[in-house]
């Protein structure tokens, strides 16, 4: 009886482990490195020696270029950045993730977009779709995570009109 129970337990454990691993592998996407500014990362090079201040406030000395415009009434730095380890991001469930898996964090709120992103509809894939390396761009390659709405850009020049087509510059 004991042996049977033990075997069942063993199989159960193996099953749980393999599904967890498979899920983990299935969720991995090949992405280029996150677009950090020069000298930004690792964050802990400054933050390790600093005291954690959880109070919501205007930043005066550092990070002054960051204008939070992303549900700013509800949010503060440490909702996404892990207070204990500044080189990581923090999910709702307290799990810490690397910056190159930040899509998990974005996907917590933007579930429909995340679903489209995973199959390559939202966002952009680059490289080879068959027989080669394909990379996904992270959310933050196109959207500033602190102010995610896309900004207007300057268009490329229009085509020449029939009148100036032949004697263009």
Partner 1 sequence: MPNRSYTRREFIRNLSLAALSGLSIPMLSSCTKEHAEDFLQKHFLEMTNDEKEALIARLEARYLKKYGKKFKVSAQEAIPNTLWGYGLDLSRCIGCRRCVYACVDENNSSRCKPQSQWIRVIRLKKGSLIDLENSEHYYNPETVPEKDYIYMPVQCQHCEKPPCVKVCPVHATWKEPDGLVVVDYNWCIGCRYCIAACPYRGRIFNWADPNVPPDKWNTSVHYLGNRPRMRNVVDKCTYCIQRVRMGRYPACVEACPTGSRKFGNLLDPQSEIRYVIENKRTFRLKEDLHTEPKFYYFFEA
Using CB under 8 A, list all residues that contact partner 1: 119-132, 137, 142, 150, 152-161, 165-169
Contact 33, 136 (CB under 8 A): no
Nearest distance in Å: CB 99, partner 1 = 21
Our CA angle for 81, 74, 71, nearest 5°, is 85
Closer residue to partner 1, CB minimum distance, 41 or 114? 114
Q: Is 88 helix (H, G, I), strand (E, B) or coil?
A: coil
Nearest distance in Å: CB 116, partner 1 = 8
Q: Is 114 helix (H, G, I), strand (E, B) or coil?
A: helix
In terms of DSSP bridges, do strands 96-97 and 89-90 run parallel, antiparallel, or are they unpaired?
antiparallel
Closer residue to partner 1, CB minimum distance, 126 or 147? 126
Contacts of 81 (CB under 8 A, 6+ apart): 43, 88, 89, 90
Closer residue to partner 1, CB minimum distance, 39 or 152? 152
Closer residue to partner 1, CB minimum distance, 11 or 160? 160
Nearest distance in Å: CB 68, partner 1 = 23
Nearest distance in Å: CB 166, partner 1 = 6
The Cα 161–Cα 59 span in angstroms is 51
Nearest distance in Å: CB 75, partner 1 = 25
Q: Which two tokens stand for residue 154?
A: 């300057």
Closer residue to partner 1, CB minimum distance, 3 or 154? 154
């Amino acid at each position: 009886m004991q042996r049977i129970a033990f075997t069942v337990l063993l199989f159960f454990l193996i099953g749980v482990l393999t599904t967890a691993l498979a899920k983990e592998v299935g969720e991995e996407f090949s992405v280029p490195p996150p677009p950090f500014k020069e000298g930004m990362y690792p964050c802990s090079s400054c933050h390790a020696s600093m005291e954690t201040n959880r109070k919501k406030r205007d930043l005066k000395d550092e990070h002054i270029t960051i204008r939070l415009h992303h549900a700013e009434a509800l949010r503060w730095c440490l909702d996404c950045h892990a207070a204990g380890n500044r080189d990581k991001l923090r999910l709702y469930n307290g799990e810490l993730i690397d910056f190159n898996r930040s899509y998990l964090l974005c996907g917590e709120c933007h579930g429909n977009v995340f679903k489209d992103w995973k199959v390559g509809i939202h966002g952009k894939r680059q490289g080879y779709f068959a027989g080669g390396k394909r990379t996904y761009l992270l959310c933050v390659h196109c959207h500033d995570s602190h102010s995610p709405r896309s900004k207007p850009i300057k268009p490329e020049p229009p085509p020449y009109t029939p009148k100036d087509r032949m004697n263009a510059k």
